[in-house]
Structure 1
Amino acid sequence: MFNSFQERQPNTDNIISAKLKLNEFFLTYLSQTETTQYIHDLLNGLNNSTPNSTPTKLPTSPSTSPYKAHPSDEPVVFSLGEPTTPNDNIQEIDSLQNLQPDFTKSLNKEIVNNEEQKIRIEEPQHQAELLTQEKIEQNFVDETNKQTNEQDNVKVVEPKEQEKRQEQKIESVVMEQPQQPKPKVETIENEQDKIMVDTINTTNNTVNSNECTPPPQKIEQQQPTIKIPQFYFPNNKKITTSPNVNNDSFEFGLSTIKHNFELFKGQPESVDPITNNVINNNTNNCTTTTHYITSFDEFETIIKELYTFPRILNRLLFIYTLRTLRLNDICITEDKFVEFWKNHIYGKEPEELLFNILRKSEDSKYLYYEDFFLFSKTLIDFHPGLEFLSNTPEFQDRYQETIIIRIFYGTCRNKGRITVKDLKSNNFIRSLSLLDAEPDINKHLEYFSYEHFYVIYCKFWELDIDHDLFIDANDLAKYGSCSLTPLIIDRIIINAIFTKTLFGVKNKLSYQDFVWFILSEEDKTSETSIEFWFSCVDIDSDGFLSLYEMDTFYKEQKQRLDYLNLDPPVFKDLLCQILDMVKPDAIEKITLLDLKSSKMAGYLFNILFNINKFLQQESKESITCDQPMSDWNRFALQEYERALAEESLSYQEDDEDDDEEDDDDEDDRRMHIE
């Protein structure tokens, strides 16, 4: 029992129950008649005996005592939690010779007082302490009944008298006032007494700290409220300001505008700022100064403090302001500017502003080809890298048409119309910002390079024999040293995007569609190019390339290869190679998604309709997909250098011809003189 008690965790209820069990066990042992008589006779005998007399041993019967005595001069002392040995169960009677006959009564009282002191709860405690006392009483009764049934080695002589004493002990524990703790008794009659005393002493602090101290009250701290800004705006009606505004405060914008207007030129209010005529004002002789914007630089000063727009967008916004306010002359007052800023600029993204400036009407949801002429004209007039075009109106028009088609090619692909979402998804505003950072227009390869325009226009000029800005199938067949098959040429003309809508011409290809064609032909890796050639090869427009359609295109390719005696492979052999490269989901058809994900669309299209590039692919040992420069930029660079070389060579030939003519004229002059 002692070992099992030692292994228990230091829980308050378990400690109290253990102490009460030990107390009850000790009282039960002392209440036996044989034990009481034995102790009484023993004490009387010690008082009358001599020092050499042999002490009488305790009864060894299990029914009376479970412990054995052995001759020893030191009392056996047990401590809770320490290991015991077989010799610890033997006690020496001589250690009891100094005890008084009333030892039993005093010791019992002392232990009970100590027990009462440890488990008592002070009166100032309220309902929580009373409930703890009731729980202790109930546990004590339950554990006492259980312990009585388990201990078979303890003989109960008078059960009724024992039960009566137990009830008295319970009442004394609950009702009596707390007393000061007694000093620890060093010499104890038997093992149970020592164990009980040690247990009480060792658990004194635990009882006081766990039972008598009320639990601390939990203080709930109020969490600060966090205001989450609105992040969903139905119908795209955003209330907050644009992230391009340096300060989200509306008052900041107004104060900035007011401060800048004070720095601008002003005139008295009684003077018309447009005609400079004096206005008769008999009601008020005092005049105040009115400030207004008279140039683009002043307008741009305000916009730069509020936004970080590209310079060309600031220029377009200035034109849009004059058009909206219906001003013939540049004279924008502060009130008109504030009204325009609140209604048309404040809270809008730069893509939205550009879209609103270029569209034809407020109800239009798309930007079409004609809408970008204002943008291209503004770029040519004010960009420093295009000043050389001011004296060549013909090249200005072709350059404008080229950059507009390239904008459509890079943003909307095959739709022929542009939305605000298209402008945002392709970072078109970022490309405009780069124009301010780099004045060299040829370094803007995505849309505005003049060298790229020069290459495209020279290629078209070579095919357009009559120079009417339209080419037919026969003209287009000459492109790339007659590398295209007749079937694909017909499909290119049929799938033209701008020729029919802009000019209403059939069976021909305009310069606008030729720009689209050459961008797709020379770079078959871009998504716009893949979509364009997919629509050309998809004859029935069912959304995928069937084996029949691919075989149809390859038949013409094979005939041309046979004519050159190149012994081309049959389509079945090529089909296995195509399926291994593209890896479509279905073997019998190839979808647009399959071509984009495989990155081998250009290889497939060259097999089907471009004989020169097909032969170049077959001569290469490997196919490289990832390259630092795009196929189009590489082609444009090579063609531009070749054109410069041809042009310089032609200049040299012209100079030689001029020199020969000069020599002939000199000879004729000398002969005439002679």
Structure 2
Amino acid sequence: MDLFTKYYSKWKGGRKNTNEFYKTIPRFYYRLPAEDEVLLQKLREESRAVFLQRKSRELLDNEELQNLWFLLDKHQTPPMIGEEAMINYENFLKVGEKAGPKCKQFFTAKVFAKLLHTDSYGRISIMQFFNYVMRKVWLHQTRIGLSLYDVAGQGYLRESDLENYILELIPTLPQLDGLEKSFYSFYVCTAVRKFFFFLDPLRTGKIKIQDILACSFLDDLLELRDEELSKESQETNWFSAPSALRVYGQYLNLDKDHNGMLSKEELSRYGTATMTNVFLDRVFQEYLTYDGEMDYKTYLDFVLALENRKEPAALQYIFKLLDIENKGYLNVFSLNYFFRAIQELMKIHGQDPVSFQDVKDEIFDMVKPKDPLKISLQDLINSNQGDTVTTILIDLNGFWTYENREALVANDNENSADLDDT
């Protein structure tokens, strides 16, 4: 105890000097400058810019990457397996010594172990390692690039920040060369909504730069740098010019009175024009409208939800609409409320209505909720059947496709067999 007291007192600076000790604690909190403290704001912006420039200089440039590839190729370890060049740990460390201080972080036992798979000689693939380095460098470059638009300097981007980033990125993407400048604002809005719809589910109006880097959206956007991107890839890429023009074109086609907004009646013609009025009523009740009409930004959320019904963010959007009592779960009453509208549409189209009891049982069998009487959002996500369940409840065409799925599969098989015969 005496020894402990001696060392503790020495570490703390002695009982008599306690106050002096606390004075040596470094400052760890700096408040953000207020809006009227213009000079402090400018100073903070300038210091952040200098910091980011310094971080950028610490990254490997093209010449240094080429030198690294040359060193790796020079130190490959035989024997060759097919065309794959390999390197063992000893040569790996030698390359690390020669590659320079910027590369030091990559030449560790941890990185080597990450890339070590089934090679019987205990080697790793040179190409895999080089791709790993390239990916890391790209991530850091992109993070620095995004941070330049982080006006608040808190590690996140607001909607306006991301809009500025994408707007200035457009001229660097060859696949967007054909876009007219008058369409830029609509393109930027279309691109930004995907980031915020999926990465800001709580609608805080900001997303972390780390989250942007971790998802695949930025990869999809920067894929447009490829001048030879296939037509198929463009059609499946939300950020491509054909995709953006398709979504905006649909919006214009729905806007029959050409006032730049969509009424409920206009939105009812979306897709196959078979969504129920009950569901559309809920869309206009729950999501932002202006004098009862929907603007382009709200429409984009609607499209993203319906085109990505397997995704948790999309299911969250639709679940909010289905949860008419705002209880956090769907029960028999809420399921019946929406399915009655499907039954009414079936009568209008001359189809025999299907029993709700049968559909309800099928839904609960598909989802298998923890509570046998309630379906939560998490139940819907965990079941991997959320897209099917929501389609059954909101869209007559979707319900008809589900009901006749076996006949449709059989018909497809017959058509395939006919094609094989010819």
TM-score (norm: length of structure 2): 0.60
Q: Is 1:549–2:339 an aligned residue pair?
A: no
Residue ranges of structure 1 left out of the alignment (5+ in a row):
1-233, 236-240, 254-303, 311-348, 625-674
Secondary structure of residue in 2 paired with 1:520: helix
Residue aligning to 2:185: 397
Residue aligning to 2:137: 308
Residue aligning to 1:588: 373
Residue 384 (structure 1) aligned to one of 167, 171, 174:
174
Which structure has the bigger radius of gyration?
Answer: 1
CA displacement 1:309-344 (0-9 Å, x = unmatched): 38xxxxxxxxxxxxxxxxxxxxxxxxxxxxxxxxxx
Q: Partners of 2:342 and 2:228 in 1: how far apart?
A: 46
Contact persistence 1:366–1:418 (CA under 8 A)? yes
Shift of 1:468: 3.2
Q: Partners of 2:353 and 2:275 in 1: how far apart?
A: 17
Change (3 A) 1:458 1:597: same
Q: Tell me how large the CA RMSD over aligned residues is.
A: 3.4
Residue aligning to 2:253: 462
Q: Mapping of 1:243-642 within 5 angstroms?
A: 245-246=59-60, 252=101, 308-309=137-138, 349-350=140-141, 352-362=143-153, 364=154, 366-389=156-179, 392-413=180-201, 415=203, 416-431=205-220, 434-437=223-226, 440=229, 443=233, 445-496=236-287, 499=288, 505-621=290-406
Which amino acid is 2:170 matched to?
I
Which amino acid is 1:308 matched to?
V
CA displacement 1:162-192 (0-9 Å, x = unmatched): xxxxxxxxxxxxxxxxxxxxxxxxxxxxxxx
Q: Partners of 1:396 and 1:521 in 2: how far apart?
A: 24
Contact persistence 1:469–1:510 (CA under 8 A)? yes
Shift of 1:613: 1.3
Q: Which structure has more helix as a fraction of its residues?
A: 2
Q: Partners of 2:363 and 2:379 in 1: how far apart?
A: 12
User: What count of residue pairs does the alignment treat as equivalent?
Assistant: 287
Q: Partners of 1:399 and 1:460 in 2: how far apart?
A: 13
Shift of 1:356: 2.3
Q: Mapping of 1:211-226 within 5 angstroms?
A: none
Q: Partners of 1:394 and 1:559 in 2: how far apart?
A: 44
Q: Partners of 1:427 and 1:351 in 2: how far apart?
A: 13
Q: Mapping of 1:80-229 within 5 angstroms?
A: none
Q: Partners of 1:449 and 1:554 in 2: how far apart?
A: 37
Q: Partners of 2:286 and 2:300 in 1: how far apart?
A: 14
Which amino acid is 1:383 matched to?
L
Residue ranges of structure 2 left out of the alignment (5+ in a row):
1-27, 30-54, 65-95, 103-132, 410-422
Secondary structure of residue in 2 paired with 1:531: helix
Contact persistence 1:350–1:429 (CA under 8 A)? no
Contact persistence 1:414–1:528 (CA under 8 A)? no
Q: Partners of 2:150 and 2:327 in 1: how far apart?
A: 34
Q: Partners of 2:213 and 2:172 in 1: how far apart?
A: 24
Secondary structure of residue in 2 paired with 1:509: coil
Contact persistence 1:367–1:419 (CA under 8 A)? yes
Contact persistence 1:537–1:545 (CA under 8 A)? yes
Which amino acid is 1:588 matched to?
L
Shift of 1:252: 5.0
Contact persistence 1:472–1:508 (CA under 8 A)? yes
Q: Partners of 1:384 and 1:352 in 2: how far apart?
A: 22
CA displacement 1:269-305 (0-9 Å, x = unmatched): xxxxxxxxxxxxxxxxxxxxxxxxxxxxxxxxxxx99
Shift of 1:550: 1.1
Contact persistence 1:441–1:450 (CA under 8 A)? no
Secondary structure of residue in 1 paired with 2:258: coil
Change (3 A) 1:576 1:462: same
Q: Partners of 1:470 and 1:565 in 2: how far apart?
A: 33
Q: Partners of 1:619 and 1:523 in 2: how far apart?
A: 22
Shift of 1:564: 2.5
Which amino acid is 2:324 matched to?
I
TM-score (norm: length of structure 1): 0.39
Change (3 A) 1:489 1:429: closer
Secondary structure of residue in 1 paired with 2:206: coil
Q: Partners of 1:456 and 1:429 in 2: how far apart?
A: 19
Q: Partners of 2:198 and 2:230 in 1: how far apart?
A: 18
Which amino acid is 1:453 matched to?
A
Q: Partners of 2:265 and 2:178 in 1: how far apart?
A: 35
Shift of 1:552: 0.9
Change (3 A) 1:509 1:617: same
Q: Partners of 1:417 and 1:425 in 2: how far apart?
A: 16
Which amino acid is 2:388 matched to?
Y
Residue aligning to 2:114: none
Shift of 1:432: 5.2
Identity of aligned residues (%): 23
Q: Partners of 2:262 and 2:252 in 1: how far apart?
A: 10
Change (3 A) 1:427 1:371: same
Contact persistence 1:351–1:423 (CA under 8 A)? no
